[in-house]
Chains A and B, each alone.
Chain A
Amino acid sequence: MRITFQVNGEERSTDVHGAESLLDVLRDRLALPGSKNACEQGECGSCSVVLDGELVCSCLVMAVDADSSTVTTVEGLTDGDHLHPVQEVMLDAGGVQCGFCTPGFVVAAAHLFAADPTPSDDDIMEALAGNVCRCTGYGSILRGLSALAEANRHGGEP
C-alpha cells in the first residue's frame, strides 16, 4: 500500500510492503539512514524517532501505521549547519565513540529536553534507559546532557 506522512517537515509518500517497519521505510525507501538498525526488537533505542509527539522505536512501528503521521528523525534535528544543543554537548563531552547509538540518543535526549529543559541527572538516566550504548559506559553522555540542563537552568549556553 501507499503511505503519506510528514517526515522532518516534508510530506513524503511511498509504497510499503505489509511487513515493513517504519525503520525499514526511513532507511531503505526514504534515504534517511540516520535511524539505526541495531536490534530491531525495541531493546536498544538506536532507531528512536518522534512519532506524533511520542518517542518510539521505529523498528516496532509498522510502516502502514505511520500513514498520516508526523515523524522527526535525527536528520530533522539539525537546522542547516546549526546543531541542536543536544548534539553540541554530546560532541563536547565525548559522548560519541563509534556513533551507532548516537542518533537514537540524540533523538531521545532532544525529546526529553523539549519536554523539560532542566532535567535532573536522575531524570536523564531514567529517560535514556531505553537506549543502549556499547562504547561510552554512559558517563560522557550524562556529563554532556547534565551540563546542558545546568546551562538551561541559568538561561545561558552550555
Chain B
Amino acid sequence: MTTTAPPQTTIRHGIGESVRRPDGVPKVTGNFAFSSDLSATGMLWGATLRSPYPHAEITKLDTAPALAVPGVAAVMTWEDVPGRKTYGLEVADQPVLSDGRVCYWGEPVAIAAAETPEDARAALAAIVVEYDELEPLTDAEEAAAAGETFRTITVRRGDRDVAGAVVVEGEYVVGMQDQAPLGPESGLAIPDDQGGVDLYVATQWSHTDHAQIIASLDKSPDEVRVHLSGIGGAFGAREDVSLQIHLCLLALRTGRPVKMVYDRSESFVGHVHRHPAKLWYRHEATEDGDLVKVTARLLFDGGAYTSSSPAVIGNATYFAVGPYRCDNVSVDGIMVRTNNPPCGAMRGFGAVQACFGHESQMDKLAAALGMDPLDLRQRNALGTGDHMPTTGQLVETPLPTARMIDELRAMPGAPELSAEHPLHLPGGTGLTTDPAHITRGVGYAISIKNLAFSEGFDDYTEVRVVIDAAGVEVHTAAAEVGQGLVTLCQQIARTVLGIENIVVRFDDTSLIGSAGSTSASRQTQMTGGAVEAASRALLADILDAYRADRLDDAGAWHNGELVASLEHIADHGPNERHIRFRHPPTETADENGQGRLHVDFAVAGHRATVDVDRELGLVRVVRIDTVQDVGKVLNPAALVGQVEGGVMQGVGLGMMEELIIEDGIIKNPNFTDYLLPTFADAPEVHARFIEEPSIFGPFGAKGAGEPPAISSTAAVAAAISNAIERRIARVPIRPDDIIGITPKSF
C-alpha cells in the first residue's frame, strides 16, 4: 500500500480541498430520498407488536382477530419465520420474533402488513396476546454475580505485587446514551416474481444484513438483494438488524411491496444503545508522577441480547488505561446480560466509558501529586515504539500523544464570560441565571482508540473502479451515513487518476462484495484505501498499455500528445480494477489479554471551558479546544464537521443525554425527554490536526470519526469538577449533582 507516492498531477477538487458533497444539492432541496421517503405502487405498510414487559412468558398469542381487520394483508409471528429464528451481529441469539419468552421491553412479538399505517396499527391492537410476567434481571452487579455474562476479559501485564507511593482510587458511572440519528429506522421490501426480494434500507453494513436476512428467510444469497437507501445518520444505531428481516418476511408473504417506518418512540426500542457502565480504578504512581500500576474493573450492561457487546467490552478493556505508558496493569472487563434494553455500537465503542474513568483518575492522581494535570499526562504519554499498557502491543503507527498535549496546552483559551446575550449564560434565554453566580471551569481529557476492526477479524472492503467515456465510476457497498465518504472517494480517485469526473455508485449486495461496516472509524482508511489502491493499479495498467505518462478527463497522454481518448480506453481497456482491500492482520489475545490486537490507533485531546451556575446547577459549555491525530487532512471542511459533530455528542453525554431505565423500561423514549444538544447548547469548537502519515490508509489518513466523541465527555466533566471544586464521578452530570443534592450515591 503506497501512501507516499505523490499525486500524478494537481487536480481540481482533489485531496486536501474542502470539496462540496456530491449529494449536497439534493439534500438541501429536499430531493434526496431517505429510506423513509421511499414508496412503490401497491405498497403495504408494516408495523410491529412489541412486548410491554422486560421479561415475560407469552401464554397466548392469537393473530386471527387481526387478520379479520379490514385492510390487513398479513400478520406473522415466530412460527412464520421459515429459516433461522434468530439473528445477531456476532452471535445469532436474538429472536426475529419472540419465541415465547420476551427478554426486554419492546421486544418484537408479531408483525403486520396492511393497506395504511392506521390499518396496520389496528391489526396490532387486535392481536390477542397474554403474558406471565417474570422477574426481570436489571442490576448489572447481580448479573455479574450470577455469571450472566456475554464476555469477560482478563488483562494481566507486568508485576502484580509492585506498588506505587501515591495511590488514588475511584468509582465512576456512565449513563446509557442513545445514538439518536434523526432518520428513523425505515425501509421498503419489494418481492420479485421468483420468490426473492429486494430490500431498500438505511443500514451501516448491507452485507451483514444480507447474511442475517437469508439465514432467517431460508433463501439462497442471490435471492435477496440489499440496497443502500438514503441514510439519516447512524452513529452505531444501524449496525444491528432492526426491521430488515420483518420487511422481507411481510413482502414475501403478501407478494406486495411493504414499507415500514418507526416513529421516534419505536426507534428508541428498535436499536441498541451505548452501554451504561460502572468503572472502578486504582492508579499507583511514583512521587514524581510515573505511573507504576493501574488496576481496574469495568462492568458494562449489555442488556438482553449479544449485539456487538463482546467487541465493545474488548475495546473498553484494552483502552482502559488510556494513552499512557504503564508496565503493570490488571483489568477485568465484564459484559453482563440483563433484561435491560440491548446495548451495542455507538461512536467510540467502549472507549468512551473507559476514557471517563481513566481521565477522571489522571486528574485525581495529579491532585494527589500536586502536579499540573497536563504535566502528569505529558510525563506518561504513550508514543510510537512504546508498548500498549494493557495488551503489550508494540505501537508501530505514529502516535503523537506528547505533541498533541503540547499543542492542546498552547491553544488560546476562551475569552472572558460575555453576558451580552443570555444565550451565553448557563440558564440560556430562560433568563434564570444571575451572572454573579457563575463560576468558570477548565478541564482536559485525552483518549486513544483503535481504528478499523481488531482481534483477528478478517477486515476487508471491496471496490471496483471503472473507466467510462464520461470519466470514472467508483463502486462500493460502503454505507454513506452522512460522514462524507462519498466525497472522499471522489477526491482520492481524482487525485490518483487525474480525472475530475468521478461518480460514486453504492452497489447492492448482488453487485459487489462487502465493504465492512461504516463503523470503527474505518471507512476512510479501508474503503478510501481501497479506492486509492484500485485507482493506482488501474492508472498503472493504462499508462503501461498505452505507453502513456499521464491520464486526464480527455484520456491518456504521452509527451503532450493524446494517445488514447477516455472513450477508447473505456471501450478497449484496461478499464477496470476490482479489488478486495485488507489492512495488516491482527491477532486474538492470549489468556492474559496480550497480543497484537489492533492494526492502528489514533489519539485526541480536548480542553473544555464551562460556565457553571452553582446555585441552579446549570452549565454552559463555552468552548471545546481539540487536537486530533488524523494522519492526513483529506477534506478540511468534512473533517471539521466530523470533529464538531463528535464533540457535540460527547458534550451531550457529559451534560444531558441519558436514557432513563427503570425496571427494564425506558422512561424517556422521545425527544421531549431525551435531550439532544441544540444551537443553544453548542460550544464553539476550535480544532487543530496533527498530520503524521499512518501505516495504512489513503495518503496516510487515519480514521477520524470517533475520537472527537471520546475524550470530549471526560473533558466537560473535568471542567465542571474544576468549576465546583468537587469531582463528579458520573456522566451525564445533572443539576442535582452540581448542587450536591443527588439523593443516592450515583
Contacts and interface: CB of A to CB of B under 8 A. Distances in A.
B183 interface: yes
Dominant SS among interface residues on chain A? loop
Contact of A34 (B29, B649, B684): B29
Nearest to A97: B482
B181 to A, nearest CB: 6
Interface string A111-134: 000000000001011101111111
B645 A134 contact: yes
Contacts of A34: 29-31
B38 to A, nearest CB: 9
A75 B29 CA distance: 6
Interface string A62-73: 000000000001
Contact of B264 (A41, A83, A92, A125): A41
Given A97-B484, A122-B423, A138-B682, A40 B235 contact: no
B641 A97 contact: yes
Given A39-B670, A87-B29, A92-B20, A134 B640 contact: no
A64 to B, nearest CB: 16
B571 to A, nearest CB: 32
A136 B671 contact: no
Interface string A26-58: 010000111111111101101000000000000
B182 A101 contact: yes
B641 A33 contact: no
B91 interface: no
Given A39-B264, A99-B23, A129-B678, A135 B30 contact: no
Contacts of B640: 94, 139-140
A130 to B, nearest CB: 7
A32 B29 CA distance: 11
B447 interface: no
Interface in B477-531: 481-484
B18 interface: yes
B682 A135 contact: no
B680 A96 contact: no
B28 A100 contact: no
B679 A128 contact: yes
Q: Looking at A40, A96, A98, A142, which has the most chain B CB atoms within 10 Å of its CB?
A: A98
Interface residues of B, number: 61
A139 B682 contact: yes
A99 B25 contact: no
A18 to B, nearest CB: 11
Contacts of A93: 637
A14 interface: no
B350 to A, nearest CB: 21
Contacts of A139: 640-641, 644, 682, 684-685
Interface string B30-57: 1111101100000000000000000000
Contact of A103 (B30, B649, B685): B30
Interface in B169-226: 180-184
A125 B682 contact: yes
B24 A38 contact: no
Nearest to B261: A37
A19 B33 CA distance: 26
Nearest to A141: B679
B641 A74 contact: no
A132 B678 contact: yes
Which among B180, B424, B647 has the greatest number of chain A C-beta atoms within 10 A?
B180
Nearest to B34: A100
B423 A38 contact: no
Contacts of A35: 30
A134 B675 CA distance: 12
Interface in B76-108: none
B18 to A, nearest CB: 7
A40 B671 CA distance: 9
A32 to B, nearest CB: 8
Contacts of B592: none
A134 B676 contact: yes
A98 B20 contact: no
B620 to A, nearest CB: 12
Contacts of A27: 37
B682 A137 contact: yes
Contacts of A90: 24, 28
Given A97-B484, A101-B182, A122-B421, A137 B671 contact: no
B387 interface: no
Given A94-B18, A130-B678, A125 B30 contact: no
Interface in B613-648: 637-638, 640-641, 643-648
A102 interface: yes
Interface in B454-491: 481-484
Nearest to B30: A34
Contacts of A149: none
A100 B680 CA distance: 20
Contacts of B423: 122, 125-126
B404 interface: no
B4 interface: no
B682 A44 contact: no
A27 B36 CA distance: 10
A138 B683 CA distance: 9
Interface string B147-182: 000000000000000000000000000000000111
Given A33-B30, A34-B31, A99-B27, 12 more contacts: A32-B30, A37-B36, A38-B182, A38-B264, A46-B182, A74-B29, A98-B482, A99-B34, A122-B423, A133-B182, A135-B645, A137-B644
13 contacts: A44-B182, A83-B25, A90-B28, A94-B638, A96-B27, A99-B27, A99-B232, A101-B182, A102-B27, A126-B679, A132-B671, A134-B676, A138-B648
Interface of B: 18, 20-21, 23-25, 27-34, 36-37, 118, 180-184, 230-235, 261, 263-264, 420-421, 423-424, 429, 481-484, 637-638, 640-641, 643-649, 670-672, 676, 678-680, 682, 684-685
Interface of A: 17, 19, 27, 32-41, 43-44, 46, 73-75, 77-78, 83, 87, 90-94, 96-103, 106, 122, 124-126, 128-140, 142
